[in-house]
Chains A and B, each alone.
Chain A
Amino acid sequence: MNKLSTLIRVGISDLNTVSSPQMIRTSGLGSCVGVVIYDLNMKVGGMSHIMLPDSLATQQQHINEYKYADTALPILVNKIIRIGGRRAMLEAKIAGGAQMFNMSSNLDIMRIGPRNVEAVQTTLKQLNIPIISSDVGGNFGRTIDFDPETGKLMIKSVNQPDKTI
């Protein structure tokens, strides 16, 4: 990691953009999905921490658009274009979507991880952004770091070896 680079943090239901030599991180993804979208040649990108699949299912009057896959990702794409990303060159990587507790319950909320992953895949497809690689599912948390210089997404977890996709 470049010692001089600064690290941008993305909270839960949050998103932000990044350009080299900055790095961007979101911590403790469980059922949430971390999405990075980037233009490798321009060395710019952005990260989104998706909590829920679908804004249409909300009961909130004023929704937080950064919380849902279908609303957050188009916003992220626009922000990346504004800092120099080229629409046609954008690519994506995704991580997260775990099921943290193995519940036999029929509760829909317990399947939220896989549903988030599906929603992210669907939205990226609608946006015509290819998913280059992904590390999703399982029953463990992930912290992800993205470097727009190399396009690499580094994944850390508690009981699994570190991994780069």
Chain B
Amino acid sequence: MSFEDLSKTQLDVLREIGNIGAGNAATSMAQLINRQVNMNVPSVNVVTFDQMMDILGGPDATVVALFFRFHGDAPGTVYFILTIEKAQLLIKKMTSNDSIDLFDENGDVHAFALSTLKEAGNIMTGSYLSALADFLQLDLQSSIPHISIDMAAAVLTPALVEVSQVSDYAIVINTEINEMKLDTGIHGHFFLIPDVDSFSKIFNKLGIEGNE
């Protein structure tokens, strides 16, 4: 399958998938922090690997990345990605504790903060994936959360290894969720990167011709 010539209908379907997943995740986040959470219209990008890093501010931009592999009928990878600043904010709001920081005084990652983030990721990604699975009537099971605070390119390549064996492009279904107050609120990205073989399964399930 060639990613460069997806039809408009296929792109629309992928956008809708991002919509459904992130809509549910936004609801979960709203419950977690007890505030209103919005999402923007998802973008579906067929990008080179370099362009993918640019979405997050370049290959060596430091990000907090929660990484989930999902297995089942249409395997793939989901990331929930935050800046360090927004990750700290999420931790503070979830724990209702303003003094807690992602890093302790030695610059090491705070274990409690880390597990708070993992739990947030678990809940939001869980609702993202279960919405997808319901919509597509597919069986999808998520791995436990893995977290890394590191350079964008370094944390995103695990999702690309699979894809890169068949393509030089990746399809990124990118949805941002925002707390209502845009500038000061929490803001994060969901990146859904299905494995290459999963696309035809998704399209078939929805009655759309795959373009082999």
Say yes or no for B134: interface residue by CB 8 A criterion.
Answer: no
Task: Determine whether the beta carbon of B150 is less than 8 Å from that of A141.
Answer: yes
Q: Are A100 and B148 in touch, CB under 8 angstroms? A: yes
- Nearest chain B CB to A163 CB, angstrom units: 15
Q: Which of chain A's residues 94-123 have a Cβ closer than 8 Å to chain B?
A: 98, 100-103, 105, 107, 109-110, 112
Contact A101 B146 (CB under 8 A): yes
Complex contact B62–A158 (CB within 8 A): yes
- B168:A143 contact, CB within 8 angstroms: no
Q: Does B161 contact A (CB under 8 A)?
A: yes
A-B interface pairs (CB < 8 A), number? 109
Give 21 A-B contacts (CB < 8 Å), ordered by A residue: A12-B49, A27-B153, A28-B53, A28-B154, A30-B150, A30-B153, A30-B157, A30-B158, A31-B154, A31-B157, A32-B153, A51-B160, A51-B161, A98-B154, A100-B154, A100-B155, A103-B146, A141-B150, A143-B60, A158-B151, A159-B107
Given A109-B158, A157-B151, 11 additional A-B pairs, CB 8 A:
A11-B50, A12-B59, A14-B50, A30-B155, A67-B168, A98-B154, A103-B146, A109-B162, A110-B158, A140-B150, A141-B155
Out of B153, B164, B168, name the residue touching A141 (CB < 8 Å): B153
Question: B48, B160, B166: which contacts A59 (Cβ < 8 A)?
Answer: B166
B151 near A27: Cβ-Cβ < 8 Å: yes
| Secondary structure call for the B interface | mixed
Interface residues of B (CB under 8 A from A): 48-50, 53, 58-60, 62, 67, 69, 107, 143, 146, 148-158, 160-162, 164-168
Complex interface residues of chain A between 44 and 98 (CB less than 8 A to chain B): 51-52, 57-60, 64, 67, 98
Instruction: Mark out the residues of chain A between 4 and 60 whose CB falls within 8 Å of any chain B CB in the assembled complex.
Output: 11-14, 27-32, 51-52, 57-60
Cα A101 to Cα B48 with chains together (Å): 23
The answer to whether A29 and B154 have CB atoms under 8 Å apart is yes
